Structure 1
């Protein structure tokens, strides 16, 4: 699969929708993954908010500006490996959107966020705490209750595993951004805040 062509040394510019969805999802991951890990109302609504931001970002991947579109950052493991090899050997290139390694990480994060959100929605079809749902389930007969509880446990375990993997991927993403920023001489975090990466000489 073709890799996005390199552009000017300053790197890609990020539009407001990309920046808003990025930081909204990042905040949701931190709060729900590290601060409020239970099934509280806050946890549920933050999950819904993250899912809404994901849907918006995926839609933007079709109709947004060039840098935001999926065609600008295709998924390619071989290209990601080549990019990392070039970066660590001192031959860095900028791209019109996410670099190949970043592209793989983006799709991995989106995929895991989708799984986390989907299992969360299955567990909570209404925006109420887990205990309310469990109290309602307690009123069904014992046979049906056992089957539903078994299914619920599977979904809950999947949700927990997906959420933990999402945190791991997020941590790897942050580390990757730090390394890339260091080796390329561009502040990628500032780029996602201001819309345009800056070089060390511009800071």
Structure 2
């Protein structure tokens, strides 16, 4: 299959956003596939993931344009307009996240942060053995991987619909239109 010619490109994702993304991917995958009888690795990976989200949250207010939440915050109006355009077969171009991508990014960061908080709460005397905290932590963990799968599939599908190389952009920082 031949590659379509690039018609336009722009540096979009700064190094911090890309390092955050792939470091978080690494933490989530290691926590999924690494067997840890003592739970120490699970805990430290969870704390690392939560810390990454904390750094990214700060960067969402002070980072460059496309890293800022204001650039992609999925307001109801933005979401409705985006979905309506998709239904009509009209492709809106967004150099940063489109509204659905912004919603997904915020949802994933929220789940990872909630996992970190509920995991930490279980280590406190006040919440040791408290069933609702354990259930919430486990439930969030069960939701994380399906949502990650939807995120990965959507990046591929939306890249084709929008005629951009989204996955490549998260590696190189340069978003290409073809």
The bucket for the TM-score relative to the shorter chain is: 0.7 to 0.9
Task: Tell me the residue number matched to 1:117.
Answer: 116
* Alpha-carbon distance, 1:186 to partner: 1.3
Q: Establish whether residue 165 from structure 1 lines up as the match of residue 164 from structure 2.
A: no
Q: For 1:47 and 1:148, how far apart are their aligned partners in 2?
A: 17
Q: Establish whether residue 156 from structure 1 lines up as the match of residue 140 from structure 2.
A: no
Aligned 8 A contact 1:11 1:95 in 2: no
* Alpha-carbon distance, 1:172 to partner: 1.0
Map residues 119-138 of structure 1 onto 2, 5 A cutoff.
Answer: 119-124=118-123
Instruction: Give the aligned CA root-mean-square deviation in angstroms.
Output: 2.5
Q: For 2:177 and 2:93, how far apart are their aligned partners in 1?
A: 12
1:30-71 Cα deviation digits (max 9, x unpaired):
221344476621111111111111111000011100111111
1:15-42 Cα deviation digits (max 9, x unpaired):
0000011111112112213444766211
Task: Tell me the residue number matched to 2:100.
Answer: 101
| Structure 2: segments with no counterpart, 5+ residues | 1-6
Task: Tell me the residue number matched to 2:29.
Answer: 30
Number of aligned residue pairs: 172
Task: Tell me the residue number matched to 1:51.
Answer: 50
Q: For 1:35 and 1:167, how far apart are their aligned partners in 2?
A: 15
* Alpha-carbon distance, 1:180 to partner: 0.4
Task: Tell me the residue number matched to 2:4.
Answer: none
Q: For 2:29 and 2:128, how far apart are their aligned partners in 1?
A: 30
| Structure 1: segments with no counterpart, 5+ residues | 1-7, 126-136, 138-143
Task: Flag the structure with larger Rg.
Answer: 1
Q: Establish whether residue 183 from structure 1 lines up as the match of residue 126 from structure 2.
A: no
TM-score normalised over the length of structure 2:
0.84
| Inter-CA distance 87–196: structure 2 relative to 1 (3 Å threshold) | farther
Q: For 2:171 and 2:70, how far apart are their aligned partners in 1?
A: 23
Q: For 1:158 and 1:37, how far apart are their aligned partners in 2?
A: 21
